[in-house]
């Protein structure tokens, strides 16, 4: 009971901070929003907002394990995702686009990691969804590891057309990557084992799967010739 009360109190305090920051942004109280964000990061991971921008996702996750039992790690990770999204909004309001995109990308990468580790993970309301973060990053080029994680995520979710988009974004960057091409072929072969109804539900009908598979096999043939 003590552990549950601690966890609920931590979530409640962080969510209250997020709501306060959003209100301050709406009121154009940017300095106050920045100060509130800084304090929220300090409370959660012991590091202010400026230092957060210098840390990788791995380093940020490592900070979540300091001083708390491991059973609250997942919840703290979700709170971190939510705070990173808010940091992105605060930076965007101050016209710091590079910092905004960096925070949003970290939020997306962390959330993808969590959802790929636990496919049954239920996100509470305060956590942004993958599509929300993806939309907020629409004009930003995504690193290949993020595109690869999106590919795996969309396939697991049955969003096959979006999975295909992520795959071809990778192939556009690395058209001669034999390992990636091989994985792409296996992706389409997995899809062909699904029913027509399942493929239609994923917005990628069988004829499009076959056409894309032929396209990726042509890439494979070109790589072999080279």
The tens digit of pLDDT for each residue in 32-44 reads: 999 999 999 998 8
What is the number of other CB atoms lying within 10 angstroms of the CB of residue 11? 18
202 burial (CB, 10 Å; 0-12 / 13-18 / 19+) is buried
Q: What band does 225 get if pLDDT is binned at 50, 70 and 90? A: low
CB-based contact 21:86 (threshold 8 Å):
yes
Distance separating alpha carbons of residues 211 and 11, to the nearest angstrom? 48
pLDDT of amino acid 69: 59
Instruction: Please write the tens of the pLDDT for every residue from 162-174.
Output: 999 999 999 999 9
Distance separating alpha carbons of residues 174 and 184, to the nearest angstrom? 12
Distance separating alpha carbons of residues 127 and 85, to the nearest angstrom? 9
Tell whether the model's pLDDT for residue 54 goes beyond 90. no
Q: Which residue has the higher pLDDT, 22 or 70?
A: 22
- Dig out the tokens for 124 from the structure: 């509470």
Q: What whole-number percentage of the chain has pLDDT above 90?
A: 62
Q: What band does 67 get if pLDDT is binned at 50, 70 and 90? A: low
Q: What whole-number percentage of the chain has pLDDT above 70?
A: 94
Q: Would you give the distance in Å from CA 113 to the centre of its chain?
A: 7
Spatial CB neighbours of 137, under 8 Å, sequence gap ≥ 6: 101, 104, 105, 108
pLDDT of amino acid 167: 97
For the segment 198-208, the average pLDDT, to the nearest whole number, is: 97
pLDDT of amino acid 5: 74
For the segment 5-15, the average pLDDT, to the nearest whole number, is: 83
Instruction: Please write the tens of the pLDDT for every residue from 74-95.
Output: 888 999 999 999 999 999 998 9
Tell whether the model's pLDDT for residue 1 goes beyond 60. no
């Amino acid at each position: 009971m003590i552990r549950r009360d601690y966890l609920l109190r931590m979530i409640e305090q962080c969510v209250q901070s997020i709501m306060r920051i959003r209100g301050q942004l709406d009121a154009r109280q940017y300095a106050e929003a920045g100060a509130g964000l800084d304090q929220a990061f300090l409370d959660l991971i012991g590091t202010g907002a400026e230092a957060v921008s210098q840390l990788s996702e791995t380093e940020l996750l490592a900070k979540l394990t300091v001083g708390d039992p491991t059973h609250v790690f997942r919840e703290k990770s979700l709170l971190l995702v939510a705070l990173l999204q808010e940091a992105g909004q605060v930076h965007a309001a101050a016209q710091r686009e590079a910092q905004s995109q960096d925070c949003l990308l970290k939020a997306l990468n962390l959330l993808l990691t969590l959802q790929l580790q636990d496919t049954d993970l239920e996100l509470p309301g305060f956590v942004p969804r993958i599509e929300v973060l993806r939309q907020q990053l629409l004009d930003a080029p995504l690193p290949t590891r993020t595109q690869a994680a999106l590919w795996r995520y969309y396939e697991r979710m049955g969003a096959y057309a979006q999975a295909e988009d992520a795959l071809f974004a990778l192939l556009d960057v690395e058209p001669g990557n034999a390992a990636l091409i091989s994985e792409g072929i296996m992706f389409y072969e997995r899809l062909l084992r699904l029913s027509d109804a399942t493929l239609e539900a994923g917005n990628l009908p069988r004829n499009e799967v076959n056409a894309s598979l032929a396209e990726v096999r042509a890439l494979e043939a070109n790589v072999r010739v080279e």
